[in-house]
Structure formats: structure tokens, C-alpha cells
């Protein structure tokens, strides 16, 4: 036996239903002319958002109330996008744009527009929904401002740590800053993303912070170091790691400081790591550190010059130094015209 479930017929007044949805209190709605982008019909919420009356809005076109630093560009772009919706090139158009309110205030609106067509496919009108996202945008801007302030404070703190290190070792003043600049340039040449480059900058600026534990007379000694003195020097990456490991950086700064004297063949220090065991940032810092050190003056010798520095990393490519970092560094100096910062 085939028993069909009875269907209850619900009488619907399509006009009143449409009016109800069109005047929902939480979303702005507009019917727009596809010919000149003028407002044809607007609901109460859109009037509330913009401060204009219905009559005032229906005397304007949509791009007319757009706002930007260059309003002509904003309006032209908006008009072009609407034209693509009307022509069918775009199925719909969604944008986040600034708009001028009647009282001069600027609001951020999300507009989603779709073209309604007749049976022949001709555009009848554009139906747009509008949401006020001003508070969200302002909150995002405030968060970005806080992030910028925190980043600025972080870099100032890094600068203070570097300065304190240089006070104890004035003969290599600027070394960490220059290593950071070279490392960032190498990272950029290798295509690292901006966030990772910023981490390289911080790690380069702090890679020798552990030298604060090395006696000044050893750091500034004009002659060759004996074995005991060199053992103290070799301890500075571990001291730097201990000083940095509890700082909640968004980058592996402490590990980079610990490993920047490691070598690809395992003959580095303090852990004797090999190849891929060494953090990539540390491998970049190792190349930048050698180039800056050899090309600059030291208490125990005059500057050797950039060509000897490049020859050293070229000689140790793959054995002591990461091949990618070496190749990028050589391109920078020999092909791109890069110079060690002052």
C-alpha cells in the first residue's frame, strides 16, 4: 500500500514576505539600477548606517558615496566591478569599502551584490546586501597598532642588548648589526618570507650576546689567543642560548645564537652538529658572520677585505658552510652590488 504523507499548504503573501526580508533590522539592503548604479530602493537599516534618508540615497549612485584617499580611483574600480556583474563576467561582487556618511563620518561596509535577470538574461536590477563592519575594522586597526608598538619595543630592547655587548667589546662595535643586515640580505636572496627575515634580523642582532660573559681583556687581546682563552670564547654561544632561551620570541633566536658557529661537516662548536641538524637560520648566520668578521678590522689583525672573505666561504662551500647560503651571498656581492653596511 502506498501511503503518501499529507503536505500542508502554507499560504504565502509573497509581497509581504519580501517586504519582511528586505527590512530585516540587522542588514542593509538596496536595489540598484544596472544602468547607472543609482539606488532605486533602500531599506531602513541602510539609511541608519549611512545617515541618509531614503530620498537622499535614491538621489545618489553607489560609487558617489565611496570614500578613499583617492576617491576617483575607488569609484572607478567599484563602477568597473559592478559593470562586470551586469555583463555576467562576474556572478557576484563582494567588497570591503569605506563610505561617507551624511554627517561626514566614514564607515567600513561589506557589500555583496548580485544581478537579477529576466528570462532572456537581461539585467533587471542589482540586489545588494550591506553590512556595517566599522567596529571590527577599528578593532583590527587597533590590534595592528598594538602589534606595531610591541615590535618596536622588541627591536629597541634588542638594540639595548646589542649596545651593552658592544660597550664591553668596542673593537667590534657594529658587528652584530652588520651580520644581521648581511643575513637578512642572504635570506631575501633565498626567497624567505618577511616574517622569517625579521627573525633573522633579531637573531643576527643577538647572535654574539653571549660574549658578555667573556673577559674584556680576551675580547680585546691584540695577539693570538692561547687554548684556555679560546675555550672561553667558544663558550659564548652557550651563554647566549641560556640568556635567550626563556624569551618568548616568535622565531628560534636562542637556537640560532647557539648554533651560529656549527659547521656542515660537524667540526663547529659547541655541539658538533652536522648538515641538516643545524638550524637553517644558523647556517645563514654562519656565512654572514664569517664574511663580516674577515672583511672588518679586529684587534689582532687588519681587515682582510671582502674578496678574501668571499673566497673563504667559497672554499668552504658544502664542507663548512651551507651551499645555498654561500651561493646567495656570492650573488649578492658579485652580481647584485651589495656592500657591507657601515
Grid coordinates 641538516 are at which residue? 276
- Tens-place pLDDT, residues 252-286: 999 999 999 999 999 999 999 999 999 999 999 99
Average pLDDT over all residues of the chain = 86
Over the Cα atoms of the chain, what is R_g?
32
pLDDT > 90 fraction of the chain, expressed in percent and rounded: 44
Domain 15-132: which CATH number of 3.30.450.20, 3.30.1490.190, 3.40.50.1100, 2.30.140.10: 3.30.450.20
**Whole-number Å distance between alpha carbons of 166 and 153:** 20
CATH superfamily of 140-334: Hypothetical protein af1432 (1.10.3210.10)
**DSSP codes, 159-206:** HHHHHHHHHH-GGGTTHHHHHHHHHHHHHHHTT--HHHHHHHHHHHHH
229 pLDDT higher than 70: yes
- Tens-place pLDDT, residues 28-82: 999 999 988 899 989 999 999 999 999 999 998 888 887 655 555 567 888 888 8
Local confidence band at 93 (pLDDT 50, 70, 90 cut-offs):
confident
CA 308 to the chain's CA centroid: 36
Q: Reading across the β-sheet that carries 106-117, which strands appear in turn? A: 39-42, 28-32, 123-132, 106-117, 92-100, 66-67
Local confidence band at 5 (pLDDT 50, 70, 90 cut-offs):
very low
3-class secondary structure per residue, 253-274: HHHHHHHCCCCCCCCCCCCCCC
Q: Is the pTM of this model over 0.95?
A: no
Q: How many residues does the chain have?
A: 342
- Tens-place pLDDT, residues 105-121: 889 899 899 998 988 88
Domain ranges of the chain: 15-132, 140-334
- Tens-place pLDDT, residues 141-169: 888 887 787 777 777 777 777 777 777 66
Amino acid at each position: 500500500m502506498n501511503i503518501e504523507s499529507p503536505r500542508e499548504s502554507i499560504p504565502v503573501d509573497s509581497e509581504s514576505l519580501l517586504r519582511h526580508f528586505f527590512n530585516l533590522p540587522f542588514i542593509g539592503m538596496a536595489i540598484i539600477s544596472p544602468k547607472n548604479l543609482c539606488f532605486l530602493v533602500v531599506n531602513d537599516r541602510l539609511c541608519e548606517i549611512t545617515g541618509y534618508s531614503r530620498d537622499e540615497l535614491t538621489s545618489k549612485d553607489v560609487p558617489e558615496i565611496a570614500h578613499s584617499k583617492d576617491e576617483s580611483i575607488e569609484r572607478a574600480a567599484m563602477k568597473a566591478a559592478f559593470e562586470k556583474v551586469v555583463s555576467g563576467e562576474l556572478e557576484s561582487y563582494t567588497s570591503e569599502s569605506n563610505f561617507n556618511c551624511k554627517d561626514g563620518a566614514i564607515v567600513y561596509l561589506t557589500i555583496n551584490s548580485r544581478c537579477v535577470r529576466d528570462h532572456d538574461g537581461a539585467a533587471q536590477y542589482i540586489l545588494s546586501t550591506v553590512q556595517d563592519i566599522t567596529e571590527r575594522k577599528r578593532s583590527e586597526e587597533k590590534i595592528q597598532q598594538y602589534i606595531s608598538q610591541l615590535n618596536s619595543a622588541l627591536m629597541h630592547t634588542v638594540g639595548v642588548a646589542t649596545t651593552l655587548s658592544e660597550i664591553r667589546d668596542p673593537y667590534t662595535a657594529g658587528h652584530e648589526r652588520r651580520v644581521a643586515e648581511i643575513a637578512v640580505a642572504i635570506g631575501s636572496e633565498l626567497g624567505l618570507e618577511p616574517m622569517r627575515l625579521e627573525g633573522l634580523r633579531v637573531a643576527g642582532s643577538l647572535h654574539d650576546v653571549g660574549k658578555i660573559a667573556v673577559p674584556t681583556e680576551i675580547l680585546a687581546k691584540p695577539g693570538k689567543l692561547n687554548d684556555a682563552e679560546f675555550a672561553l670564547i667558544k663558550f659564548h654561544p652557550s651563554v647566549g642560548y641560556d640568556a635567550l632561551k626563556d624569551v618568548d620570541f616568535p622565531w628560534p633566536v636562542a637556537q640560532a645564537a647557539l648554533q651560529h658557529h656549527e659547521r656542515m661537516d660537524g667540526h663547529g662548536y659547541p655541539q658538533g652538529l652536522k648538515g641538516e641538524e643545524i638550524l637553517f637560520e644558523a647556517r645563514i648566520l654562519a656565512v654572514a658572520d664569517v664574511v663580516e668578521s674577515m672583511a672588518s678590522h679586529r684587534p689582532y689583525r687588519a681587515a682582510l677585505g671582502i674578496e678574501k672573505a668571499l673566497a673563504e666561504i667559497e672554499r668552504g662551500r658544502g664542507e663548512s658552510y651551507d651551499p645555498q647560503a654561500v651561493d646567495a651571498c656570492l650573488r649578492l656581492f658579485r652580481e647584485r652590488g651589495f656592500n657591507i653596511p657601515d
